[in-house]
Structure 1
Amino acid sequence: MESNDVEEEEFGFSRNYFLAKEVRSSGKKGARKLSQINIVDEQELREACSNIEPKHENEIINLVNSYKNSYSEWVYVLRYGFGLLMYGFGSKKALIEDFASTALTDYSVVVINGYLQTINLKQVAITLAELLWDQLKMQWKGASGTKQQPFNTRSMDDLITFLDGPHSENDDTFVCVIVNNIDGPGLRDSETQQYLARIAACSHIRMVASVDHVNALLLWDKKMVHTQFNWYWFHVPTYAPYKVEGMFFPLILAHNGSAQSVKTASIVLQSLTVNAQKVFKVLAEHQLANPDEEGKCLHLILKFAILFYNIIDKENYFHFSFRDAI
């Protein structure tokens, strides 16, 4: 066969292949719409979820109990200036708090629940400073103490400077911070993570945290991971349900009026990158300023969403495991 005939045959085969794929994909389109789904009330759905019988209870209890043998190692790591980062499938709230209540009894402990929607990090820093000051006063007992300015009048930078100050030569003079879900919605923004990293880097602070979101590592840069947080990673899957953490999130498959729709939309937007959120914000502001261009603005949003997720899918940007990241 001549070269032209071969090229024409290959071109015809490729064209027929893509035409067949297009016809097949168009035939798979369902006729059902999301609005036709019979969505139940949120309270009813939560009650149904609470009545689900847990499986493999004995195995899970034995697994969690096996981690208790590592408590002494975790304390040793903390005393040498590392932060503990617990990862793995399942809620780690009970495990971390049990570690704090049994192995950290010699230290002051502050618990931050990152799964809450809002957290006052300034108040957390004030509490840490007050606890540290109490420890220092106990060490200086009998000596002339120095009067301190009330911590609640200090700025965040001043509080961090105090927590990092060379107040004691004793390496065991520190306050331990327990952060359940350091990747939670109340702590997920860049500014809060920067402050948490600065607090964790203070000489009189030790941090124990858990992560659950697959994209948690995107919150930190190399300096934060290795220098400020100074994480020591522990793989501690518990396979325990996220009962407490899940109480503060709306159920997407539940019906709760317009408020539920707003919460659901917020969850979807929070899953996007910062740049993507900014673009949607610009489009939303344009929509509010130009209500007559509803169809045109919606078309732009849909085009951007398709383009954005196609890029993410091609680069496989969000798909990795914590083990690979380490």
Structure 2
Amino acid sequence: MEEESVHFADSNSEEDVEEEEEHSSAQEATHAQPKAKAKKPKKRKGATGPPPMETFINQTAFDVYFSYASSTLRVSDNVLSSLVEPLTHDEVHTIEQQMQEHADSNEGVQRLCSMHESFFPHYWFELHNGFNLLFHGYGSKRAILTKFGKEYCARNGNIIIVNGYNKRAGLKTILSAIEQIPKLGEVSLRSSGLEGQLQRIYGFFRDSNHPPLYLIVHNIESPSLRDNKVSTLLSTLALHPRIHLIASADHINTALLWSSAEVSARKHSPTPVGTEIPSHKGYAWLFHDLTTFRPYVIELTHRDISTLPAQNQGTGATSGGAGQAMSEPAMSHVLASVTEKAKRLFRLLATKQMAAVEEDASSKVTGLEKYGMQYDLLFNEARKEFLATSDVALRALLGEFMDHGMVLSGGTPEVLWIPAGKEILKRVLQNMGST
């Protein structure tokens, strides 16, 4: 029995060996066949962005970052300015009036302004204890500060109001206003220039026989008041013990205009007349929230009116007269900033267009290109008037008007016209001195 069992085991092992040999030969045959190449993922035509995820064996955060950073971004050509039509001057004026009427009739706004006015005695106390006042917060603060100046400052001294939101406000404006104070002009200048005027003003108010000066500056953070000379003037006068500065600001980063030393500076000690001005400068600010929620109607009237509305510029204007109509203030603003030759060229084009419009007895703004003047004819007329002797010179004169949308062009041959009605053109020509 043992032999049989042993023999049975031996016979089984031989069969297993045979099966293993057959299996190994089958594997060798399989490996002998040529391997099929792995298919690479197809790349889509015009596809942008990182490569497919299958190309990375183990994609890390760094791989993802650099793959996306190297991809190109698609930017849409549909911008908001091309979808929304700009407002005209009349529409802007109407909106401003509605905002003003709403603020005047709003009980909450009126209560808020009344609350601020109740703090006038507190502001007055701070002014006469070595501090200047800087008011911030949302809404126009012009009316409240002007009222404070009339009710308190004007009754106790000289008051100067500087409208910083006006682009014309600057060093000369402030100095000329201060120089008009009675008896100040009688003081002789020690030296010429800003230093001499500053010494005269500073020395004049050292005398207690002269009333103090209250300087109210609306929008002290405006670009026209950021000049170094203006800063020197204000920072010196602000520390005078008898000159008091009240200012407003609307920019959120206004405090960054001055260093901490200038903000926390203290008033100069009283010194006798004739001594030198102390060297340190600053403002000695106390900050107050003066939120009013009133619209900035007056402040916005001094913006560049030639930018409203945005005109169809250059030769891109269609021959259908799609350009926005220019208003009289906008045209006057542009004419005030161009050369005399450019004014004469505009008068020439406007006169020809006026004559064509009067013949047709039409004053509509649309379709004005039919009353325009061909470029070749305008060039001949300009050469006769010695305005331009070459095409380059004429294009240069027209460039300023075309950039602001005052002159449009289009059609073949090229025609130039002014996008303004008969009455507006007539008034503009009268203001220019044309008959």
TM norm. shorter chain > 0.5: yes
Correspondent of 2:162 among 112, 116, 119: 112
Distance 1:128 1:83 in 2: 18
Q: Deviations over 1:97-134 (max 9, x none)?
A: 01111122222100000001122423523443553747
Letter matched to residue 64 of structure 2: N
Q: Cα–Cα, structure 1 residues 35 and 122, in superposed 2: closer, same or farther, change >3 Å?
A: closer
User: 197, 205, 214: which is aligned to 1:176?
Assistant: 214
Pair 1:171–1:201, CA change in 2 (3 A): farther
Name the structure 2 match of 1:50. 96
Instruction: Identify if the C-alpha distance between structure 1 residues 31 and 175 changes in structure 2 by more than 3 Å, giving closer, same or farther.
Output: same
* Separation of aligned partners in 2, 1:203 and 1:129: 19
Which of these residues, 26, 34, 58, is aligned with residue 73 of structure 2?
26
CA distance in 2, matches of 1:241, 1:35: 24
Is the counterpart of residue 76 in structure 1 residue 125 in structure 2? yes
Return the alpha-carbon distance in structure 2 between the equivalents of residues 248 and 147 of structure 1.
35
Matches for 1:157-168 after TM superposition, within 5 Å? 157-165=195-203
Aligned-pair distance for 1:207? 0.6
CA deviation profile, 1:230-256 (whole Å, cap 9, x unmatched): 111111111111111111124777314
What residue is the counterpart of 1:221 in the other structure? 259
Q: 1:78 to 1:172 in 2, by over 3 A?
A: farther
**d(CA) in 2 for partners of 1:45, 1:32:** 25
Contact 1:83 1:229 in 2 (8 A): yes
Query: What percentage of residue pairs aligned between the two structures are identical?
Result: 20
**Higher relative contact order at CA 8 Å, sep ≥6: structure 1 or structure 2?**
1
1:40 and 2:86 matched = yes
Unaligned runs of 5+ in 1: 1-7, 135-145, 264-326
Secondary structure of the structure 2 residue equivalent to 1:84: strand
For 1:148, the aligned partner's letter is V
- Count of residues paired in the alignment: 240
Residue 77 of structure 1 deviates from its aligned partner by 1.2
Instruction: Report the CA distance shift for 1:10/1:184 in structure 2 as closer, same or farther (over 3 A).
Output: farther
Match of 1:65 among 114, 118, 140: 114
What are the superposed Cα offsets for residues 280-311 of structure 1, whole Å, 9 maximum, x if unpaired?
Answer: xxxxxxxxxxxxxxxxxxxxxxxxxxxxxxxx
Residue 245 (1) aligns with residue 306 (2): no
The 8 Å contact of residues 131 and 175 in structure 1, kept in 2 or not, is answered as no
Secondary structure (helix, strand or coil) at the match of 2:233 reads helix
- Code of the residue aligned with 1:57 in structure 2: it is N
TM superposition score normalised by structure 1: 0.62
> 2:309 pairs with 254, 257, 263, which one?
254
SS class of match (1:60): helix
- Which residue matches 1:92? 141
Length-normalised TM-score, structure 2: 0.48
2:243 aligned with 1:205: yes
Q: Which residue of 2 aligns with 1:294?
A: none
- Computing the radius of gyration from Cα coordinates, the structure with the larger value is 2
Asked if the contact 2:204/2:210 (under 8 Å) is kept, the reply is: no
More helix by share: 1
The alpha-carbon distance between structure 1 residues 121 and 147, as it changes in their structure 2 partners (threshold 3 A), is closer
Q: Residue in 1 aligned with 2:37?
A: none
Q: Match of 1:149?
A: 188
Alpha-carbon distance between aligned partners in 1 of 2:310 and 2:91, rounded to the nearest angstrom: 9
Quote the RMSD (CA, aligned, Å).
3.6
Counterpart check, 1:235 vs 2:289: yes
Cα distance in 2 for partners of 1:74, 1:22 equals 59
Name the CA distance, whole Å, in 1 between partners of 2:96 and 2:173.
34
Give distance in 1, aligned partners of 2:143 and 2:195: 32
Distance of 2:207 and 2:85 partners within structure 1: 61
Question: Aligned equivalents of 1:171 and 1:112: distance in 2?
Answer: 25
